[in-house]
Amino acid sequence: MQQKYFKKVFRGRPRGRVVKVTHSFWQPRFCRFGSWAWTWHRSSGHAEVASHIDHQKDLQLEYTTIYTWGLGEKKKKKEKKRRLAADVTSGVAVMKFKNPPVNSLSLELLTEFVISLEKLENDKTFRGVILSSDCPGVFSAGLDLTEMCGRNPAHYAEYWKAVQELWLRLYLSNLVLIAAISGACPAGGCLISLTCDYRVLADNPKCLIGLNETLLGIIAPFWFRDTLVNTIGHRAAERALQLGLLFPPAEALQVGMVDQVVPEDQVQSTALSVMAQWMAIPDHARQLTKNMMRKPTVDRLLKQRDADIQNFVSFISRDSIQKSLQMYLEKLKQKKG
C-alpha cells in the first residue's frame, strides 16, 4: 500500500483568507471527504480533484477546481514536485504534458492520455479541458521517433493504433477542449492542438506550429490531412502539407491555424477566459453541433482503421524510411552533445 498526500488551497470570500489543508488517503480507491472528492490514478500517480461551491451564511467559500497531472512523466521516489494548478475556473481541468525534454508522444504517454481523458468525460463535474505543457519552450514535439525506429512490425502497429485512439478520443470529445500553446508545436503536437475547439498561441517567434512530416520524409496520413483541411481550408492545407510548413504566430493566426495570439504570460489566462465563453453555451446543443461537424471525418478513419495501421507499418518498415529516421535521431543526439 502506498500513501499519497495532496494539498488544496481554497480562498475565503469576502475575507480573502488563504488556508492550506492537507488530506491523505490510501490508493487506489475513490475517496470522499465532505464536499471534496479525490481519485488517485495508479497509472500516473497523480490526483484528480473535483470542484464544488459551498455557500454559507456567514462566509462564502469558493472551492477552485484543480485537476492537473503530468502526462508521461516517470514516477520518482520521494518526489515532492507540486502538481496542483491554482486559480482554475470551476468545472475545468488542466492537463499538462510532462515528458521532458520535448513532450514526445510515447506509447506510454498516449495510453495514459486516453485513459485520463476518458475518466474526465465520465465525470460530470468537468465540462472543459485546457491542454498545456509543463516543459518550457515546447507544447509537444509530436510523435516519438524512437517508437518508430528500430522496432518490430507488431510494435509499430500497437503504437499507431494508440495514436489513432488519441485522435478519435479528442476529436469527438464532449468536453470543451482549448489548447494553451506556449512553445513549439510541430507534427503530432500540432495535430493534438487541431483537435481542440480553440487554440491560443504565445506571441513568440519560437512558437512555431504546423504539420511538418514531409521534412522528415514521412507522409501525413489522410486523417491528419482532413483535420488540417477542416481547420484552414483545402488550398492552404495542401501547401502547408507539401512544404512541411511551420507557421510563426502571426502567420498561424492569419491562415487560421490558431484562433488567438497573445503575450506569452497571458496564454493561460486567455484560455480560461475563452473557456468561460464556450461553457456559457448549453452542453447538449454545443455537443450535438460539434458531433454534426466532425463525425464524417471520424467515420472515414473508423471505416479504414485497420488498413491505415497496415499502411503505416508497411511504410515505416521500409529500409529507406528507417535510415532517414536513424539519421535524424543521430543529428538530435549530436545537438544535445
Question: 265: domain CATH number?
Answer: 3.90.226.10
**Domain presence at residue 33:** no
The answer as to whether 303 is a domain residue is yes
How far is residue 272 from each of residues 181, 209, 276, measured CA to CA in Å? 13, 21, 6
Residue 113 structural domain: 67-73+81-336
135 located within any domain: yes
Within a domain: 214: yes
Give the pTM: 0.74
83-86: long-range contacts (C-beta < 8 A, 24 or more apart)? 83/46, 83/47, 84/6, 84/7, 84/8, 84/9, 84/49, 86/9
Dump pLDDT digits (tens) for 179-222: 999 999 999 999 999 999 999 999 999 999 999 999 888 889 99
Distance CA 230, CA 223 (A): 10
Which position has the grid cell 484562433?
Answer: 259
In a domain, 116, yes or no: yes
- Alpha-carbon distance 308 to 316, whole Å? 12
How many Å apart are CA 316 and CA 311, to the nearest integer?
Answer: 8
Q: How far is CA 274 from the centre of its chain?
A: 17
> Could you report the per-residue pLDDT of 227-249, keeping only the tens digit for each?
999 999 999 999 999 999 999 99
**Catalytic residue ranges:** 143, 188, 212-213
Tell me, yes or no, whether 18 lies in a domain. no
Determine whether 15 is exposed, middle or buried from the number of CB atoms within 10 Å of its CB (0-12, 13-18, 19+): exposed
pLDDT confidence band for 71 (50 / 70 / 90): low
Q: Which residue has better confidence, 69 or 3?
A: 69
**Residue 230 in domain:** yes
Is 1 domain-assigned?
no
> What's the number of domains the chain is made of?
1
